[in-house]
C-alpha cells in the first residue's frame, strides 16, 4: 500500500515533466554529422585514429598537424573507446594564434570528424585537458568528459544545424517547464502550487522585465502558445549567440526541459543550485513527503547535477 501511495504522489511531478517534452526535439549530445571525406573505412569508426607523419619527414621540420589523434564517432555515445595511449596532456596556442588546442603527448587532439579541436580560450582548453588527464590506463571513458563532448558539439554540429537547433528550442518554448504550474492542491500534490509561486514566480517576473512580455502559464499536457513578441525576443537572443554558447544552451534545455532556465543562466540570473532546484521542484516535494527511493531518485539527482553543472561550466568558460 505504501508503494501505491508513492506512485500516486509522483503523478503530478511526472505529468509536469511530461508536458514539457510534448514537442519533438532534436536536442542531443550525439553528433548528426556524417563526413563525406572519411579517410577510414566504416569498420574502423570505433577506433582511435592516429595520424603519423611521413617517414621521410625529419623530426625538426614536423608540424603539429602532421601528428594528430582523432576520436571515433562513438566517442559521443560510447562507454569505453580504447585504452589510454598517451602519457602527457598539455595545451598550446593554435598555429594561427586564434584559439587553443589540446595535445596528447606530441599529437594534436581532433574531433570525431577530424577537425582540429580549437577552443576559444586557454581556460576551456585547460579544463578539457584535465578531463583527458583523468582517464585511466584501462580505457578512455567519454561519459567522464562532458566538456569535451560539448566542445565537439559546438565545433561540429552547431555550425551546420544552427537553424534547426533554434527552431527546436523555440518550438519547445511553448511547453516550457517553468510555464507549467499546478492548478491547485489535492491529496497527491499538496503544497506544490505554493512552492511554485515562491520559486517560479520571481522567474516569470524576470522574463517579463527582460523581454517585455508577460509569459502565459498553463496546467495541461499541451502547453500554451506564448506571445509572438516574446518568442521573437528569445529568438533574437539565440541568433546572437556563439556556437559554444548555443551548444551550452541546447544542452541545458535538454536537461531541464526548459528554455527559460538556460536563458536565466546565460544572463547570470541564477546558478547551478537554483537551476537544479527549479527542475526538481515537484519531485523533491514528493520525496520529502514520501521518502527517497534508492537507486532511483538519488541517481536522477546526481545525473541532473552533472548535466547542468557541465553545461554551466562550458558556457562560462567559452567566453573569450
**Which parts of the chain have pLDDT scores under 50?**
1-12, 14-44, 59-62
Q: What burial class does residue 317 get, using C-beta atoms within 10 Å of its C-beta: 0-12 exposed, 13-18 middle, 19+ buried?
A: buried
63: which residues sit within 8 A by CB, 6+ positions away?
A: 95
Q: What is the pLDDT of residue 77?
A: 61
DSSP string, 73-116: GGGGT-S-------S-EEEEE-TTSSSEEEEETTEEEE-TTS-B
Q: Is 184 left (phi over 0), alpha (psi -120 to 50) or beta?
A: left
In 3D space, the residue among 76, 99, 100 whose CA is nearest the CA of residue 90 turns out to be 100
Rounded CA gap, 123 and 100, in Å? Answer: 9
291-319 tens-digit pLDDT = 988 888 899 999 999 999 999 999 999 87
Q: What is the pLDDT of residue 54?
A: 56
The H-or-E segment that residue 129 falls in is: helix 122-134
Rounded CA gap, 47 and 170, in Å? Answer: 37
Rounded CA gap, 221 and 277, in Å? Answer: 22
Q: What is the pLDDT of residue 165?
A: 97
Q: What is the pLDDT of residue 167?
A: 97
DSSP 3-state assignment of 118?
coil
Q: If you search the block for the grid coordinates 511547453, which residue do you land on?
A: 175
pTM: predicted TM-score of the whole model, two decimal places: 0.77
Q: What burial class does residue 295 get, using C-beta atoms within 10 Å of its C-beta: 0-12 exposed, 13-18 middle, 19+ buried?
A: exposed
Q: What is the pLDDT of residue 250?
A: 97
The number of angstroms, rounded, from the C-alpha of 119 to the middle of its chain's C-alpha atoms is 17
218: which residues sit within 8 A by CB, 6+ positions away?
A: 179, 180, 181, 224
Rounded CA gap, 268 and 262, in Å? Answer: 10
Rounded CA gap, 80 and 83, in Å? Answer: 8
In the chain the domains, ranked by start, together with CATH numbers, are 2-23+174-317 (1.10.3580.10), 42-144 (3.30.2180.10)
The H-or-E segment that residue 308 falls in is: helix 297-317
Q: What is the pLDDT of residue 78?
A: 61
DSSP 3-state assignment of 89?
strand
Pairing relationship of beta strands 89-93 and 107-110 according to DSSP bridges: unpaired
68-117 tens-digit pLDDT = 667 666 666 667 778 899 999 999 999 888 899 999 999 999 988 888 89
Amino acid at each position: 500500500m505504501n508503494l501505491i501511495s508513492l506512485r500516486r504522489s509522483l503523478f503530478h511531478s511526472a505529468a509536469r515533466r511530461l508536458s514539457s517534452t510534448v514537442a519533438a526535439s532534436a536536442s542531443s549530445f550525439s553528433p548528426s554529422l556524417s563526413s563525406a571525406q572519411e579517410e577510414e573505412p566504416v569498420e574502423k569508426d570505433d577506433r582511435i585514429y592516429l595520424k603519423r607523419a611521413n617517414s621521410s619527414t625529419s623530426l625538426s621540420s614536423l608540424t603539429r598537424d602532421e601528428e594528430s589523434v582523432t576520436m571515433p564517432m562513438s566517442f559521443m555515445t560510447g562507454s569505453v573507446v580504447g585504452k589510454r595511449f598517451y602519457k602527457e596532456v598539455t595545451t598550446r596556442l593554435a598555429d594561427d594564434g586564434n584559439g587553443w588546442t589540446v595535445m596528447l603527448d606530441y599529437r594534436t587532439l581532433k574531433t570525431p570528424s577530424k577537425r582540429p579541436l580549437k577552443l576559444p580560450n586557454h581556460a576551456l582548453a585547460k579544463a578539457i585537458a584535465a578531463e583527458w588527464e583523468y582517464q585511466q590506463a584501462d580505457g578512455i571513458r567519454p561519459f567522464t568528459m562532458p566538456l569535451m563532448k560539448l566542445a565537439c558539439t559546438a565545433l561540429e554540429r552547431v555550425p551546420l544545424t544552427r537553424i534547426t537547433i533554434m527552431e527546436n528550442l523555440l518550438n519547445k518554448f511553448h511547453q516550457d517547464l517553468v510555464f507549467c504550474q499546478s492548478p491547485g492542491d489535492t491529496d497527491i500534490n499538496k503544497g506544490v502550487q505554493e512552492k511554485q509561486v515562491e520559486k517560479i514566480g520571481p522567474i516569470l517576473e524576470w522574463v517579463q522585465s527582460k523581454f517585455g512580455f508577460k509569459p502565459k502559464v498553463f496546467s495541461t499536457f499541451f502547453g500554451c502558445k506564448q506571445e509572438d513578441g516574446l518568442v521573437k525576443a528569445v529568438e533574437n537572443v539565440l541568433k546572437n549567440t556563439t556556437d559554444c554558447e548555443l551548444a551550452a544552451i541546447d544542452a541545458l534545455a535538454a536537461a531541464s526541459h526548459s528554455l527559460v532556465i538556460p536563458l536565466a543562466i546565460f544572463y547570470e540570473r541564477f546558478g547551478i543550485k537554483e537551476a537544479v532546484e527549479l527542475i526538481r521542484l515537484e519531485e523533491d516535494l514528493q520525496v520529502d513527503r514520501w521518502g527517497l527511493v534508492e537507486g532511483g531518485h538519488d541517481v536522477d539527482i546526481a545525473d541532473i547535477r552533472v548535466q547542468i553543472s557541465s553545461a554551466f561550466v562550458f558556457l562560462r568558460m567559452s567566453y573569450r
